[in-house]
Amino acid sequence: MTESDVHTLTGPYVLDALPDDERARFEAHLAGCTFCRTEVAELRAAAVKLATQVATPPPPGLKADVMAAIEHVRQLPPVVHEPAPLVRRRLGRRSVLALAAAGALVAASGGIAIDQYRGRTSAEQASRQVAVVLAEPDARTVHGTVRGGGQATVVTSDRADKSVVVLHDLPTLPSGRTWQLWMIDPQQTAHSIGLAAGDLTRVINGSTTGMTTFGLTVEPDGGSRTPTMPAAALIPLE
């Protein structure tokens, strides 16, 4: 690994997806690199915030119902398979990051214990996609304030051509108005990436590579073809 490569390990490090030797080398690098320390802190903050956005309590009485049903379920005998030969190998980066994304999903949804069980929902799917973006080696995080109040955080990965947008504490808009999200290219052309009624955590597929600015505007219900200026937020992505 070259010295420049070590700067790309912030995402896997935050998700605890590095093997021991690379973790030790990165932590030694981290002690002297202000840029990487800032990036790690921002990614950790984003991961915590994104995880809490999707956590939901289990339905009342779920544990009691499951425990009562167990008494009436016949236990099947164990299935015995011939042991497979032991193979020792080091996981590749892709495998490690896949495991890290799965681990982040489990952490975000509260684990798989009975008293925390809940069904597969769109929130779970979104948290998995968020973990994948955070695990990309080129993932970078930017923050900005929203005019009138609130914060916007954007995590982007050109490699995955995906971004994660987190809007928090936005002011309430008048009736008939909505927030509209934009990605702006180097020619200053704005590309709409969706509407929002208020605070959100959203994974954007595409419309990330080559973009220079994230924009947030207030538009009529249904959105606009071009941004209404002045924008509520314009956040450089580099």
What pLDDT digit, counting tens, does each position of 164-185 carry? 898 988 999 999 999 999 999 9
Please check whether residues 97 and 143 belong to one and the same domain.
Answer: no
Please check whether residues 43 and 152 belong to one and the same domain.
Answer: no
pLDDT > 70? residue 120 = no
Please check whether residues 173 and 206 belong to one and the same domain.
Answer: yes
Asked if residue 64 belongs to a domain, the reply is: no
pLDDT for 23 = 80
Structural domain that includes position 177: 138-236
| CB 223 within 8 Å of CB 178 | yes
**Stronger pLDDT, 201 or 46, i.e. the higher one:** 201
| CB 206 within 8 Å of CB 185 | no
pLDDT for 123 = 54
Asked if residue 104 belongs to a domain, the reply is: yes
Please check whether residues 111 and 207 belong to one and the same domain.
Answer: no
Residues ≥6 apart with Cβ < 8 Å to 233: 144, 145, 146, 147, 152, 214, 215, 216
Which band of pLDDT confidence, cut at 50, 70 and 90, is reported for residue 231?
very high
Asked if residue 24 belongs to a domain, the reply is: yes
Please check whether residues 42 and 117 belong to one and the same domain.
Answer: yes
* Number of separate domains in the chain: 2
Distance CA 219, CA 105 (A): 34
Can you give the pTM of this predicted structure? 0.54
pLDDT for 70 = 56
Please check whether residues 128 and 26 belong to one and the same domain.
Answer: yes
Please check whether residues 177 and 100 belong to one and the same domain.
Answer: no
Asked if residue 80 belongs to a domain, the reply is: no
Q: What is the mean predicted confidence (pLDDT) over 41-51?
A: 66
Please check whether residues 118 and 43 belong to one and the same domain.
Answer: yes
Which band of pLDDT confidence, cut at 50, 70 and 90, is reported for residue 196?
very high
Asked if residue 71 belongs to a domain, the reply is: no
Asked if residue 105 belongs to a domain, the reply is: yes
Please check whether residues 143 and 203 belong to one and the same domain.
Answer: yes
pLDDT > 50? residue 50 = yes
